[in-house]
Amino acid sequence: MIRRKAWQSDDGVSLPELLVTMFLTGIVGLIVVSFFVAFTNTFNEDRAASDSTTTAALGMNDLTRIIRSGTEIPRQNAVLNDPVFTLASNEEMVIHAYVDTDSDTPAPIRIRFFINADNELVEERFLATQDVAGYWSFASTSQGERVIARQLPERQPGQPWLFTYLTAAGATFTIPEGASLSVDQRRSVAAVRITLTVQADTTAQAEPVTLRNTVGIPNLGVARVGL
């Protein structure tokens, strides 16, 4: 007599088990992806903050070095020297300075700082020529432009300007937007407060970095009692 082998179910995973496995795998995958995205965003924000800090620090260093080297320029047959600043406004400055003081024949230089249409802080330099009487005059054409800080965000109402000018007593000049200091006011400037903000993160997820520094002008020989 031939006996039939009892029917047995196939070995493997049932449909409910498969669905549960897929569901759990999806959750784990979602967690991994979320962690990766969060890590990437944090890394990018940290890098953008570092880039902003580096850019702002380099720009601040250049501005500080030039302003500290500011000097008046003697004029022939004139009682008063030309002031340190030939233009002083909220976001633009033209200054006379002795930068290369290690030279055997140091010469002043006229330097212009301004923010261009691309929100970059730009420097222009104008060379000086000395006449036979020993007085200096400056070229009308610059030696070219150099960007010293990029990605400056638009200034918002109520925020400080790039340049704030101070007297020896610590008083500040309030300059209407688009205006500049008069020659008499420029003669009274003893220091400049620089507020430089950089936003290297184009997505604006990372906060911009702002550096502030008040820079005196030692060549004026003014005691800045109020600063």
Helices (H), the chain: 15-68, 183-187
* Cα–Cα distance measured from residue 215 to residue 227, given in angstroms and rounded to the nearest whole number: 10
Q: How far is CA 127 from CA 66, 112, 211, in A?
A: 15, 12, 30
Q: Tell me if residue 192 falls in helix, strand or coil.
A: strand
Would you write out the chain's pLDDT as a tens digit for each of its 227 residues?
555 555 555 556 677 777 777 777 878 777 777 766 665 555 555 565 577 888 889 999 999 999 999 999 999 999 999 999 999 999 999 999 998 777 778 899 999 999 999 999 999 999 999 999 999 999 999 999 999 999 999 999 999 999 999 999 999 999 999 999 999 999 999 999 999 999 877 666 778 899 999 999 999 887 654 55
Residues linked to residue 137 through DSSP beta bridges, in sequence order: 129
C-beta of residue 195 within 8 angstroms of C-beta of residue 164: yes
